[in-house]
A and B are shown apart, each in its own frame.
Chain A
Amino acid sequence: MSYSKITEKDINFLIEVCGDLYVHTSDSINEDFCHDELAGVSAPPEVMVEVETAAQISKIMKYASAQNIPVTPRGQGTGLVGGAVAIKGGILLNMCRMNHILELDRQNMTLTVEPGVLLMDIVKEVEIHDLFYAPDPGEKSATIGGNISTNAGGMRAVKYGVTRDYVRGLEAVLPNGDIIEIGGKIVKNSSGYSLKDLLVGSEGTLAIITKAVLRLLPKPHSTISILAPYKDLVSAIGTVSSIIQAGVSPTALEFMQREVILAAEEFLGKKFPDTSADAYLLLTFDGASKDQVEQAYSRAAHICLEHGALDVFISNSPERNEAIWSARGTFLEGIKASTTEMDECDVVVPIDKVAEFVSYTHDLEDEFKTRIRSFGHAGDGNLHIYILRDDLPAGNWVKVLGDVFDKMYSKANDLGGKVSGEHGIGFAKRPYLKESSGYCTMNLLRGIKSIFDPLNILNPGKVC
């Protein structure tokens, strides 16, 4: 499908809508806006517009529909699958100026925000009021719009669920420029198909989110993390099911391996409290009181020891938590800094298949003689697996990467898993979604896309 190229007339229209300060043409667009965090997918937009209101976006979409111009919405660009890259050129809608927190409603326990508000600012804002926004994706400088678009999960998903569970309502601009409001401050809703849940995770392909009503919880007052070292990853992950079955409800249940911790140490220039073992489980417990949390972590610690943990270390102060979680938060950057280029696989498998899948990636490491590193959410089966290029020549790298991905996604599929747990499909993972979803499902996805966006101008070439 071909699109119109941006003309001077288009630029003038955008300047008229948003002001010339906020319209950037090709030469003045920083290279950073041509790719996302992983930089595997790269394409320059023809024009970038820093929008400020839903009304501006509505005008732009009406115009783009009439002129057949592709439009790609973008937050902070922290995605990993090229979802916010303008692969067809056209207009890049930079949403970062829409960064206002509009209302904190204590009665209904909701926070209404614009899409460009950063996750870290939401956390800060609600904490002041002794409230809690439960989703906890690793990248705190991402925008909430990006989190909603990918249905971001994060570290606390095992207890609290994912972003979709915390979006109560949305305002969005459709590709034809119409502005819709779906959901609201309501808790329950059986009024027709849940368009709100459909837009969450739609990666900016169905509509542009311009406002979100988020669900808040009371802030848990006590938090303790425990770090359990194991002689190998299989024994570590072997503990996970028992912990979940015991009903101790960890908020986070992560696995990590020594090589990844060492890379994070190197990256941060700070030592991790323990690197003597090969594999670790990291669990966090939160609750209303210290006693409640201590009871839960003690039970989990006993289970870890029964399953072969060498010890269980307790992190019970802000300094200790910082030492552990600052490292955990930079695993991605640490691995990235240790190699020349990398790509990732964000599969999710049933929790009882995590160990089998990670062992399989170790086999692939030997088979393809390439470094593969992993960490992830053992408690919800979502793994982050990174294939590292190191000194592989460019041609071989593309081949190896393709072969490794084919095998990994195929294995995940065999184990009953899915292509993406939380990063989304974007551009990079489309072939694997198609491969694993089957004809009927893909047809439904494409049908939904064509109902929302019959001209295929909104973030074209993504997801399905």
Chain B
Amino acid sequence: MNIAVCIKQVPGTSEVEVDEKTGVLKRDGVDSKMNPYDLYALETALQLRKEHGGRISVISMGPPQSKEVIREAFMMGADEGVLLSDRRFAGADVLATAYTLSSGLQRLEDIDLIICGKQTTDGDTAQVGPEIAEFLDIPHVANVRKICEAEEKAITVEMDMPDTVEVAEVSFPCLITVEKGINTPRLPSFKLKLATEDREINTLCLDDFKDRDEQNYGLNGSPTQVVKIFPPPTNDCHETLDGDPAEMAQGLFNYLSDNKFIEAR
């Protein structure tokens, strides 16, 4: 079974500041890491390879420094890495990102299964995975919480819905996005770091794609208009209740019922 895993480099902390004037995340000087959800995707692929054999390719879109997360995927056991990097990809919204990744994935041969993390921790849209599948015109299942069975031509998975769990058998080639908690991702191995230090990362740009129309990529290919990005207002007001335990309990009760968190009967 040949598997492609989509990975992304994201800021290493959730405390990234937003430039209030430009609305852009201040990424300079901020440590980066592999999107945590992608670790579950990669671990799912590694476990499937252990059972069924095959090859794992990781693919990422981003600036040249995104090679770091591809190297990290090698340290976890991925076999090959592809970086889609071109200034013309910059400023992409979910649609253009999914289109670019689907163009890159078409360059990989004989892929049976594409695995994505459910979402990224910087964008949080959870749309890129399903949109890639739509561009590739292949079946897809999001929010996968368990791999039940993998056979030669299909995979059976559990999809986590808000109130129910749906079991679906999907034919290859297909795409799944996996939930956090589907497994415990392994740690990168120092031995694999030493062994893969010289492994080449295949970097592709727009000119390597079948569709070379710049209008379909990056900012040009993004219908989303970002009017403004701003940090959510922080609510740091707090109220202190004083008195003996009975008075404080009454005070808390009054506060909660006045604010309609609870209903007084």
Q: Is B184's CB under 8 angstroms from A272's CB?
A: yes
Q: A313-B190, A317-B33 are in contact. Are A21 and B244 (CB under 8 A)?
A: yes
Q: A314-B193, A318-B13 are in contact. Are A227 and B187 (CB under 8 A)?
A: yes
B142 at the interface (CB under 8 A from A): no
Q: For residue B192, which residue of chain A has the nearest CB? A: A311
Q: Name which of B188, B190, B191, B244 has the most chain A CB atoms within 10 A of its CB.
A: B190
Chain A residues whose C-beta falls within 8 Å of the C-beta of B13 in the assembled complex: 318
Chain A 274-328 residues near chain B, CB threshold 8 A: 274, 290, 298, 301, 305, 311-320, 323
Q: Is B36's CB under 8 angstroms from A319's CB?
A: yes
Q: A317-B12, A317-B36, A318-B12 are in contact. Are A274 and B31 (CB under 8 A)?
A: no
Q: Is A274's CB under 8 angstroms from B244's CB?
A: no
A271 at the interface (CB under 8 A from B): yes
Q: How far is the CB of A245 from chain B (nearest CB, A)?
A: 20
Q: A21-B244, A319-B36 are in contact. Are A312 and B191 (CB under 8 A)?
A: yes
Distance, CA A290 to CA B244, complexed state (A) = 51
Chain B residues whose C-beta falls within 8 Å of the C-beta of A318 in the assembled complex: 12-13
Q: How far is the CB of A130 from chain B (nearest CB, A)?
A: 12
Distance, CA A423 to CA B186, complexed state (A) = 34
Q: Is A313's CB under 8 angstroms from B187's CB?
A: yes
Q: How far is the CB of B31 from chain A (nearest CB, A)?
A: 7
Distance, CA A323 to CA B184, complexed state (A) = 9
A378 at the interface (CB under 8 A from B): no
Chain A residues whose C-beta falls within 8 Å of the C-beta of B104 in the assembled complex: none
Question: Could you tell me how many residues of chain B have their Cβ less than 8 Å away from some Cβ of chain A?
Answer: 18
Chain B residues whose C-beta falls within 8 Å of the C-beta of A21 in the assembled complex: 244
Chain A residues whose C-beta falls within 8 Å of the C-beta of B1 in the assembled complex: none
B128 at the interface (CB under 8 A from A): no
Q: Is A319's CB under 8 angstroms from B184's CB?
A: no
Cβ contact of A305, chosen from B36, B190, B244, cutoff 8 A: B190
Q: How far is the CB of A349 from chain B (nearest CB, A)?
A: 29
Q: How far is the CB of A313 from chain B (nearest CB, A)?
A: 4
Q: How far is the CB of A73 from chain B (nearest CB, A)?
A: 24
Cβ contact of A314, chosen from B31, B39, B188, cutoff 8 A: B188
A226 at the interface (CB under 8 A from B): yes
Q: Is B187's CB under 8 angstroms from A315's CB?
A: yes
Distance, CA A305 to CA B193, complexed state (A) = 13
Distance, CA A301 to CA B187, complexed state (A) = 14
Chain B 1-32 residues near chain A, CB threshold 8 A: 12-13, 31
Cβ contact of A301, chosen from B31, B36, B184, B190, cutoff 8 A: B190
Q: How far is the CB of B179 from chain A (nearest CB, A)?
A: 15
B155 at the interface (CB under 8 A from A): no
A220 at the interface (CB under 8 A from B): no
Q: For residue A270, which residue of chain B has the nearest CB? A: B184
A431 at the interface (CB under 8 A from B): no
Distance, CA A315 to CA B36, complexed state (A) = 13
B173 at the interface (CB under 8 A from A): no
Chain A residues whose C-beta falls within 8 Å of the C-beta of B33 in the assembled complex: 316-317
Q: Pick 25 A–B contacts, CB within 8 A, sort by A.
A: A21-B244, A222-B31, A270-B184, A271-B184, A272-B184, A273-B184, A273-B185, A273-B186, A274-B186, A274-B187, A290-B31, A298-B190, A305-B190, A311-B190, A311-B191, A312-B189, A312-B190, A312-B191, A313-B189, A314-B188, A314-B189, A317-B12, A317-B36, A320-B187, A323-B184
A290-B31, A305-B191, A312-B189 known, 5 other contacts, Cβ within 8 Å: A314-B188, A314-B190, A318-B12, A319-B36, A320-B187
